[in-house]
A and B are shown apart, each in its own frame.
Chain A
Amino acid sequence: MSGDGVEIRLTLNGEQVAARVGEHDRLLDLLRYGLRRTGTKEGCGEGECGACTVLLDGVPVNSCLVPAWQARGRSVETVEAVPEEELAALLESGATQCGACTPGVVMTAWWVRRNRELVDTHSLRELMAGNLCRCTGYDGIIDGLAAWLASTASGEPGGPG
């Protein structure tokens, strides 16, 4: 492609979407400005903060570091796809304050929640280290994620998962 962008298709939150993306566009730009899914945030544009975290083919990535054209044919999940009832534990624990880091935090946590075996090899703090938060001091996030992992699928606290 050259100059006026390219037409791509991707699966966004389970739906097929088609979009024209410019050569300069990042996946973050495509989501926020192209598709008006503004849940995903930009905190740095350098891959440092994780506010722009989305799941690309099921794993967390920083969407500010993904050229939009690399998303062609792939599956992208954003914060808009996380069912509200799943978020009870994070709400309860004080995982969000200003909320700017929150969509990214939720996406990494959602990935951990759906891949609980990760905690056999990784600490929660290591898994969350790519999501900078300046408000909570992280306890609210880590405690919320731990409670979420321990809860049953409906989001209600339950036995160990």
Chain B
Amino acid sequence: MKRVEGLSKLTGRELYVDDLPVDGFLWGATVRSPAARGRIRGIRFDDSVDWSEFTVVDHRDIPGTNAIFLIEEDQPVLAHGRVRHLHEPVLLLAHPRREELRRAVEAVHVDVDAEPPVLDFRLTPDRERIQYGDDNVLKRLRIEKGEVERALAQAPHVIEGVYETGAQEHVYLETQGMLAWEEDGVITIAGSMQCPYYIVEAFEHALGRTPDRIRIIQAATGGGFGGKEEFPSGIALHAALLALKAGRPVKLIYDRSEDLAVTTKRHPSRVRHRTGVDGDGKLLGQDIEVVLDGGAYVTLSPVVLSRSIIHAAGPYACDHVRIDGRAMFTNSPPFGAFRGFGAPQSLFACERHMDRIAAELGIDPVEIRKINLIRDGDSTATGQVIADGADRVQVLDRALDLADYYERRTAHAGFNAAEPTRRRGIGLATFFHGAGFTGSGELFLDSEVHVAGLPDGRIEVRTANVEMGQGTLTVFTSLVCDRLGVPAEAVTIAPADTSLVPNSGPTVASRTVMVVGGLLEKASDDLRTRTGLPADADGRAIREAIREWHRSHPGEPLIGKAKYEQPEHIHWDDETYRGDAYGAYAWGAYVADVEVDLRTFAVSVRDFVAVQEVGRVLHETLARGQIQGGVVQALGWALLEECKWRDGAMENAQLTNYVIPTAGDVPPIRVEFLESPYPHGARGAKGIGELPFDGVAPAVANAVAGATGTDPASVPLTPETVMDLILRQRPPAGSLT
């Protein structure tokens, strides 16, 4: 099946928020904090501007609670009294002309009595910098399995390492934007978003309204990657407040510089490993500490931390594991959801550390993984017994095979001996990614989907899960077509408009196909049952039965429904952090072949092989596209993308200074899937959206280590960092060069 909305995108007909036709609207803009931390002394408006032409909104215009509803309610919609990070929204302006608005933003001065900020999450804060609880820890979590201290005390070798990763900006190609208007007492939003119902909840709290007076519509969305999960709630509220006060539609679109400077980014991390191993490399004990920079408000950091620690020990069987996690408060714009959701950070550390262990023991990086990879019957760090029939060693072998791993390793040794200025290396990573919400999260979401039979025999799918590039519309269409045996023309997907679709949960956590897709199959069955037909009825009969049902029930809706029920095998204890963290894991093995130029210290990726076991591939082109796109985005994180900080916020807030890969910077990404169907996912599928992010940075860093004989402990490996490694770092003992 071709991408459902593909032609509409290729021809430019698809309407994103800034393309929607509206008349008589105002442009909105945001006045922000000039300081990382302090008390707001006052706000001054220059006389040079005729303020009567402007709509001006501050915290006093918020009818409900001044908080963006999420896990906690600590983040204000508009700062009042004090500011906690640079660029924090303080005041909103609207005006018909964008040029006037730009001038006006500069004519508002927020005076702040500055206080000492926390700018480095790795340092223990002194007293005057404590701003959250009594230690600035936003969230603390621990996983414990077996007795790690005893295991480490008895292990023949204990190997330590500290690893760091930097922030990353999503760079969805369409910046954040919202259009708000009020219509018959209903505040309405159309905009770029992943989670329409998150915005409904945020509006209930901050605007003090009941859901029937709130309508949220997803416009075509030009990429999200997690960046349009929680962040849009704030900007939607801003647009709504302006529209309510102005009595006119308001469009609030961030330009790229603003988007880069103020929106969420991937959490920076620091991960410490202390690992006991025997002489063959068998893991005896893993003691791991994961620290994330959360930024100035709690937002989603607790759940990012949760996923980060659950993945921190890697896809390995080890009887004694302790993982301590902390998310720290700093005076930075909050860090947020980003593809992988904490797992890429902890898996970078884990997989770099596996290579370090192998190097120190003088064993092959392939062998150490093969010895330790989970076999069916083994358990993860949370004690989840894996028995999914997937063969993780086979995934690794397939990747090695496709990449000509051993041949290349030999060839590189010869090349490196002969070449004065170039060094080649090949590196690998094995990893996993849990799909869906953690633990009982899916149960709390209580997702519901509808599949409606229309009077003309067409079928309409109603979910709040959105298309943002990942292919939701196409996969949903094909699932329903398959289930009911109807052609694609017979199926339409209702717009993600909360006045039309039920709450099927957020479009995050690689849950759309596996969880929501599964519900769609059930709802399709329910629709068929309601028409009175048995499971073996064919599509034509079903469509006729739908038409017939409507003839006998004029004016009534015919809706097949399904609600989430937790598969019986899932048991999770949120108190002890033990049990089945995810319904299913996808497994991957990635191999990177790199060349380092010893003149410029630049790393170029010569070849990249991505092999993964994903349950079932529902649509080959879409699935491959997810992997290739994820790999390239992660290559950016591994090699190029670096946020430079000033007062806790991004200083290089332009695409010329925050560089992401172009077509010329990456090789073709070679993708292969292995399939071992997951019985509770739609047609056997497990989630794949985030998986590709996890294995890239460690594979690349391991390849650079091999090429240069250094021991990189952080990403991004920019040329400046690689220069530092080569000029200053002694090769680690026993490194494979």
Residue positions of A touching B, CB distance < 8 A? 24, 32, 36, 38-46, 48-49, 51, 78-80, 82, 84, 87, 90-103, 106, 123-126, 128-142
Chain A residue at minimum C-beta to C-beta distance from B21:
A36
Segment at the interface with A among B43-51, B204-212, B627-635, B678-686: B627-635
B221 touches A131 (CB 8 A): no
Task: Return the contact of B655 from the options A48, A103, A133, A142 (Cβ within 8 A).
Answer: A48
A78 touches B3 (CB 8 A): no
List, in ascending order, chain A residues with CB within 8 A of B624's CB.
Answer: 94, 139
List, in ascending order, chain B residues with CB within 8 A of A139's CB.
Answer: 624-625, 628, 668-669
| Known A-B contacts A36-B21, A102-B10; A142 and B663 likewise in contact (beta carbons under 8 Å) | yes
A96 touches B9 (CB 8 A): yes
Bound together, the chains give a CA A100 to CA B7 distance in angstroms of 13
B6 touches A101 (CB 8 A): no
Number of interface residues of B (CB under 8 A): 57
Bound together, the chains give a CA A79 to CA B483 distance in angstroms of 37
A129 touches B663 (CB 8 A): yes
Judged by a CB distance under 8 angstroms, whether B99 is at the interface is: yes
List, in ascending order, chain A residues with CB within 8 A of B60's CB.
Answer: none
Q: Can you list 26 A-B contacts with CB-CB less than 8 angstroms, sorted by A residue number?
A: A32-B18, A38-B12, A41-B174, A42-B18, A43-B655, A45-B255, A46-B654, A48-B654, A80-B12, A84-B7, A93-B621, A94-B624, A96-B6, A96-B10, A99-B469, A100-B172, A123-B664, A124-B663, A129-B662, A134-B171, A134-B225, A135-B223, A136-B629, A137-B669, A139-B668, A140-B628
Bound together, the chains give a CA A71 to CA B68 distance in angstroms of 45
Min CB distance A17 to B, Å, is 17
Bound together, the chains give a CA A94 to CA B224 distance in angstroms of 18
A100 touches B628 (CB 8 A): no
Min CB distance B608 to A, Å, is 10
List, in ascending order, chain A residues with CB within 8 A of B628's CB.
Answer: 136-140
Report whether over half of chain A's contact residues are helix, strand or loop; otherwise say mixed.
Answer: loop
Judged by a CB distance under 8 angstroms, whether B410 is at the interface is: no
A91 touches B3 (CB 8 A): yes
List, in ascending order, chain B residues with CB within 8 A of A133's CB.
Answer: 173, 663
Bound together, the chains give a CA A124 to CA B664 distance in angstroms of 9
A43 touches B174 (CB 8 A): yes
Chain A residue at minimum C-beta to C-beta distance from B621:
A94
B666 touches A98 (CB 8 A): no
Task: Return the contact of B660 from the options A100, A130, A132 (Cβ within 8 A).
Answer: A132
Bound together, the chains give a CA A116 to CA B633 distance in angstroms of 30
A99 touches B14 (CB 8 A): yes
A38 touches B15 (CB 8 A): yes
A99 touches B9 (CB 8 A): yes
Bound together, the chains give a CA A80 to CA B13 distance in angstroms of 8
Judged by a CB distance under 8 angstroms, whether B184 is at the interface is: no
Min CB distance A29 to B, Å, is 9
List, in ascending order, chain B residues with CB within 8 A of A125's CB.
Answer: 663-664
| Known A-B contacts A41-B174, A43-B256, A92-B2; A135 and B629 likewise in contact (beta carbons under 8 Å) | yes
List, in ascending order, chain A residues with CB within 8 A of B255's CB.
Answer: 45
List, in ascending order, chain B residues with CB within 8 A of A142's CB.
Answer: 663, 668
List, in ascending order, chain B residues with CB within 8 A of A137's CB.
Answer: 625, 627-633, 666, 669
Bound together, the chains give a CA A130 to CA B625 distance in angstroms of 20
Judged by a CB distance under 8 angstroms, whether B53 is at the interface is: no
Min CB distance B617 to A, Å, is 13
